Amino acid sequence: MSELRGTVLERDGAAYRVLTDRGVLRAVLRGKAKRDDRDKIVVGDVVRLDPGPVGDVYGIVGMEERRSLLARRVPEGRGARPVAANVDRVFVVTAARDPEPVPQVIDRLLVVAEANDLPGVVILNKVDLDPGSALRERFERAGYQVLATSARSGLGIDTLRRELAGRTSVVTGPSGVGKSSLLNAVQPGLRLRVGEISAKLRRGRHTTVAAVMVPLEVGGFVVDTPGFSEVGLWDIEPEDLDACFPEMRPYLGECRYADCRHVAEPRCAVLAAVQAGAIDPDRLQSYHKLLEELEARPEAWE
Q: Tell me the pairing of strands 145-148 and 168-172.
A: unpaired
To the nearest whole number, what is the mean pLDDT of the chain? 86
| Whether residue 253 has pLDDT greater than 80 | yes
Which is higher by pLDDT, 22 or 198? 22
69-93 confidence digits (pLDDT tens): 988 765 555 566 788 999 999 999 9
| Whether residue 256 has pLDDT greater than 70 | yes
Query: Which of left, alpha, beta for 142 (phi over 0: left; psi -120 to 50: alpha)?
Result: alpha
Give the model's confidence band at 202: pLDDT under 50 very low, under 70 low, under 90 confident, else very high. very low
C-alpha to C-alpha distance for 23 and 6, rounded to whole angstroms:
9
The confidence score (pLDDT) of residue 119 equals: 95
Going by C-alpha positions, the residue among 230, 113, 219 that lies closest to residue 167 is: 219
Helices (H) and strands (E) in the chain, counts: 8, 13
The confidence score (pLDDT) of residue 247 equals: 98
Which is higher by pLDDT, 226 or 269? 269
End-to-end CA, the chain: 53
Q: Phi and psi of 158, rounded to 5°?
A: -60, -40
Do the beta carbons of residue 251 and residue 269 sit within 8 Å?
A: yes
For residues 130-136, average pLDDT? 96
C-alpha to C-alpha distance for 72 and 128, rounded to whole angstroms:
36
The confidence score (pLDDT) of residue 136 equals: 97
